[in-house]
């Protein structure tokens, strides 16, 4: 972070660059998640909306390319500088090589950013020399650099689960980033919505935007005909297959995409989540879409259900390792140290959810994780504990390939699936029936 207050005016993009540097420092140095840094008074406070958007985009792109940026910088220094100075260089390299920004403005801003921080002000000359070389010859070297790898703590696990070739495909999907997917309120209007917003309908029924932009300015946003939701996440509700007037509990509801899917299908939905702030967002989205659900702010492990539910959707807290393509800060903010606690919480949540499920009812358990301990293994042990049986998914009805079905049950989604049109988040999901 810089030590001097930022200028209120953005001269040549400086304010956006300074904001992006603040985000990078928070993630890489302080191991904070980007979502937390974007709330309240953070590195982007005081910036104009356009500058905030540019700063966030630049930080995301830099986080995806940290490994490549370091490899390129290493070509011009004997050893990498301390992290405060290195983050300035990383940001500038991505602007020059990936974003194609004019070298003069990038180099000058980077030198200024170096000088504004006590930790890096002595390295402003280094920044000037390195970045001028990057501007003239860096692009050619960049094309030869390998795709950034997953962090060691995660890569070892994922290679063991899949194989080296698949992991390389996943890493390529992470580098490519994530397009924006929309879930239509009325599934029959997907083609019309795609034509209006400049997108295409995926086999799963989601609408994928062809190019990024301000989502709230697109046709259909204000009148609530769709909401933003990755196609992988949207499949969980399709797997549950809610029916009209069924009572359904969305066990960990925020940010609410699945709650709206359930309500749009005609179910009587109770949405439960511990976060009051995140549930306020759910309420706003329900109002925008004209959908209804009962919202309950409570700890799921303590809340006493007032009734038995026909079906329950449990999108459990997890490592979120399946969402790195859209959240490249996660490998820096999470180091795998709390995984055992997460596994135990997921197991407890399954047990807790089943208490509220009527005999013969359906439970869809899902996690946006690449780790079998959070998916396949949790399902297997839950089935043994509670004598649950799997409701076999229909790939055709879900719009997925039969190859995505796991041999031992459930559906395993990977970031490299649908790779020809932008990929999808990694998920595990399974539909289970309670004994009747």
Question: Is 368 in the active site?
Answer: yes
Percent of the chain with pLDDT over 70: 97
pLDDT of residue 1: 41
Q: Has residue 5 got a pLDDT over 70?
A: no
Q: What's the distance, Cα to Cα, between the start and end of the chain in Å?
A: 58
Superfamily of 14-142 according to CATH: NusB-like (1.10.940.10)
Distance CA 425, CA 417 (A): 9
pLDDT of residue 334: 75
Sheet with 207-209, side-by-side order of all strands: 199-201, 207-209, 181-184, 226-228
Q: Has residue 9 got a pLDDT over 70?
A: no
Superfamily of 181-186+229-433 according to CATH: Vaccinia Virus protein VP39 (3.40.50.150)
Residue 147 vs residue 117, higher pLDDT? 147
Distance CA 102, CA 328 (A): 25
Tens digits of per-residue pLDDT, 133-158?
999 999 999 999 999 999 898 999 99
Query: Which sequence spans correspond to the domains of the chain?
Result: 14-142, 181-186+229-433
Distance CA 12, CA 311 (A): 55
Q: Has residue 243 got a pLDDT over 90?
A: yes
pLDDT of residue 394: 97
Query: Tokens 């194989």, residue?
Result: 163
Distance CA 306, CA 258 (A): 21
Distance CA 24, CA 84 (A): 10
Q: Has residue 274 got a pLDDT over 50?
A: yes
Please, what is the angle between helix 231-240 and helix 257-264, to 10°? 40
pLDDT of residue 337: 75
Distance CA 68, CA 70 (A): 5
pLDDT of residue 120: 84
Can you count the helices (H) and strands (E) in the chain?
Answer: 17, 12
Cα dist from 133 to 6, 113, 127, 170, whole Å: 28, 19, 10, 32
Alpha helices in 143-213 (DSSP H): 152-161, 164-176, 190-197
Cα dist from 125 to 21, 121, 364, whole Å: 19, 9, 57
Catalytic one of 252, 318, 366, 368: 368
pLDDT of residue 11: 53
Q: What is the mean pLDDT of residues 68-85?
A: 95
Q: What is the mean pLDDT of residues 58-64?
A: 96
Q: What is the mean pLDDT of the chain?
A: 93
pLDDT of residue 10: 52
* Closest C-alpha among 323, 339, 376 to residue 170: 323
* Closest C-alpha among 41, 50, 39, 42 to residue 16: 50
Q: How many CB atoms lie within 10 A of CB 148?
A: 21
Distance CA 369, CA 14 (A): 37
Count Cα atoms within 13 angstroms, Cβ side, for 226.
Answer: 33
Tens digits of per-residue pLDDT, 285-323?
999 999 999 999 999 999 999 999 999 999 999 999 999
Residue 382 vs residue 212, higher pLDDT? 382
Q: What is the pTM of this model?
A: 0.91
Q: Has residue 2 got a pLDDT over 50?
A: no
Q: What share of residues in the chain are helix, strand, coil (percent, to 5)?
A: 50, 15, 40
Distance CA 209, CA 60 (A): 19
Distance CA 425, CA 416 (A): 9
Tens digits of per-residue pLDDT, 355-390?
999 999 999 999 999 999 999 999 999 999 999 999
Which band of pLDDT confidence, cut at 50, 70 and 90, is reported for residue 60?
very high
Q: Is 71 exposed, middle or buried (0-12, 13-18, 19+ CB in 10 A)?
A: middle
Which band of pLDDT confidence, cut at 50, 70 and 90, is reported for residue 109?
very high
């Amino acid at each position: 972070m810089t030590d001097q207050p930022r200028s209120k005016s953005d001269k040549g993009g400086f304010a956006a660059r300074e904001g992006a540097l603040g985000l990078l420092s928070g993630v890489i140095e302080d191991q904070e998640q980007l979502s937390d840094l974007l709330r309240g008074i953070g590195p982007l406070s005081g910036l104009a909306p356009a500058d905030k958007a540019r700063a966030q985009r630049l930080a995301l792109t830099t986080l995806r390319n940290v490994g490549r940026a370091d490899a390129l910088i290493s070509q011009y220094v004997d050893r990498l500088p301390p992290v405060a100075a290195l983050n300035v260089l990383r940001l500038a390299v991505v602007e020059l090589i990936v974003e194609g920004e004019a070298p003069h403005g990038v180099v000058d801003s980077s030198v200024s950013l170096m000088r504004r921080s006590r930790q890096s002000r002595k390295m402003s000359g280094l920044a000037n020399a390195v970045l001028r070389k990057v501007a003239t010859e860096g692009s050619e070297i960049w094309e030869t650099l390998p795709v950034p790898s997953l962090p060691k703590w995660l890569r070892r696990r994922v290679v063991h689960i899949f194989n080296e070739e698949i992991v390389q495909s996943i890493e390529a999907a992470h580098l490519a980033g994530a397009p924006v997917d929309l879930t239509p309120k009325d599934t029959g209007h997907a083609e019309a919505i795609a034509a209006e917003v400049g997108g295409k309908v995926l086999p799963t029924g989601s609408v994928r935007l062809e190019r990024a932009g301000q989502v709230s300015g697109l046709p259909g946003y204000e009148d609530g005909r769709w909401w933003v939701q990755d196609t992988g996440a949207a499949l969980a509700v399709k797997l549950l297959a809610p029916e009209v007037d069924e009572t359904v509990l969305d066990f960990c509801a925020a940010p609410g995409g699945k709650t709206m899917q359930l309500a749009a299908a005609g179910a009587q939905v109770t949405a439960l989540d511990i976060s009051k702030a995140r549930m306020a967002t759910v309420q706003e989205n329900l109002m925008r879409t004209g959908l209804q659900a009962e919202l309950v702010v409570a700890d799921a492990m303590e809340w006493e259900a007032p009734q038995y539910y026909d079906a329950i959707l449990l999108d459990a807290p997890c490592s979120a390792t399946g969402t790195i393509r859209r959240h490249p800060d996660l490998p820096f903010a999470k180091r795998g140290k709390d995984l055992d606690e997460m596994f135990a919480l997921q197991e407890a949540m399954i047990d807790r959810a089943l208490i509220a499920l009527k005999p013969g009812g359906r439970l869809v358990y899902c996690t946006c994780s690449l780790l079998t301990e959070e998916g396949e293994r949790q399902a297997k042990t839950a089935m043994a504990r509670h004598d649950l049986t799997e409701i076999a998914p229909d790939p055709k009805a879900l719009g997925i390939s039969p190859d995505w079905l796991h041999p031992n049950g459930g559906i395993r989604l990977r970031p490299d699936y649908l790779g020809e049109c932008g990929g999808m988040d990694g998920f595990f999901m399974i539909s289970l029936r309670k004994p009747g």
